[in-house]
Amino acid sequence: MTMQFELVTPEASEAQIEATMIVVPGAEGDMGVLEDHAPTVTSLRPGVVSVSGSDGDTGFFVAGGFAEITAERCVILAESATPLSDLTAEAAQAAMTEAKAALETATSEGEKNAAERKFAVADAMVDATA
């Protein structure tokens, strides 16, 4: 009982895996996806996508995006994605420092919104490396 998992960013197709289970960071909370899942489209919050497959478990940090789920597949369209194996605590802390600086210097409403988004991504990244 497997389903096709695909992770796509604006730059490239990041992963294609035969999966037995996928956990996505949905906007309303984490969602487990198995074969024969009801068709669903959901937005993603920054967090970790966990994929269990015949080759073992793997994970990706996504900065947000969308998931399209059918009975046979789960496609993640992510703003950006980083394999968990490549994500370091130092990189997460650097992203947090940068996000805090952006929050402190934001003056317009647009800059504040962008800085808050950057902070949310950095906060999720720190959690993923903890």
Checking if the pLDDT of 1 tops 90, the result is no
Encode 88-102 in three state secondary structure. Answer: CHHHHHHHHHHHHHH
pLDDT digits (tens, 9 = 90+) for 73-120: 999 999 999 999 999 899 999 999 999 999 898 889 998 899 999 999
Work out whether strand 47-53 and strand 40-44 pair parallel, antiparallel, or are unpaired.
unpaired
Average pLDDT over residues 13-39: 93
Checking if the pLDDT of 39 tops 90, the result is yes
CA–chain centroid gap for 56, Å, is 19
